[in-house]
Amino acid sequence: MTNTLQQLIDYFTDGGFVMPPLIIGTVILWWTLGYRMAALKTGTLKSPRTLVYRFLKGKMPTHNGVMVRVLHKGMKLRNKNVDNLRRYLDDAFSEEEREIQKYKTIISTIVIVAPLLGLLGTVSGMIETFESLGDMSLFSQSGGIAGGISQALITTQMGLAVSIPGLIVSGILNKKQKNIEIEIAQLKDLLCSPIPGEDEIVMKRND
């Protein structure tokens, strides 16, 4: 355990000055990705139309999620028979729509910047390598040829290790966000239109 920890410390030390920003960026990246994963939970796998009909039958979704919350808000407004329902739905759903977009920009920024920081470390390491070649110092206080090459490789690796997984997970979450936005728009259309069989369903439920 001690040896592994020491190897990690040596690894980050050899990476040079770009390693602390990359480590901080990694922590922020995965915290924000985790937040978006939680925010993008729909609470149900059913379509908006099915959700509305089940709601009318009194079969409320038991899990919490963005689609369940907007359904409750939307049906509550619809039952009030307010004029210009679409505008009220836009206002009621805006909080949820903002929530599913939260931290998207921060994630994109980190995914873009991380490889550039790695490249900066690579350039810095190569400069140190060429300077050491000038006086043929394989090892020196500043790192020498070996230290320069080590820094160049480590920072490149770290930058890509931060960026690539973040890019993949972010892409999956962005696709899920788009699907939720489409479903919210469909739910608005359903709530603003007459629902076939609504009166019969409500009467059966009340009997």
User: Considering only CA atoms, which of 16, 22, 13 is closest in space to residue 113?
Assistant: 22
pLDDT band at 56 (very low <50, low <70, confident <90, very high): confident
Enumerate residues 6+ apart whose C-beta is below 8 A from 119: 155, 156, 159
Q: Among 16-30, 87-101, 104-118, 142-156, which stretch is predicted with the lowest mean pLDDT?
A: 142-156
Please state, in angstroms and rounded to a whole number, the distance separating the CA atoms of residues 143 and 191: 67
Q: What is the pLDDT of residue 141?
A: 47
Is residue 190 scored above 80 in pLDDT? yes
Residue ranges of domains in the chain? 20-113+162-202
pTM to 2 decimal places: 0.81
Is residue 199 scored above 70 in pLDDT? no
Q: What is the pLDDT of residue 121?
A: 81
Between 26 and 205, residue with greater pLDDT: 26
Residues 148-161 pLDDT 10s? 677 778 888 888 99
User: Considering only CA atoms, which of 21, 24, 25 is closest in space to residue 109?
Assistant: 25
Residues 110-119 pLDDT 10s? 999 999 998 8
Q: What is the pLDDT of residue 110?
A: 96
CA dist 82 → 50, 56, 96, 161, 200 (Å): 23, 18, 21, 52, 22
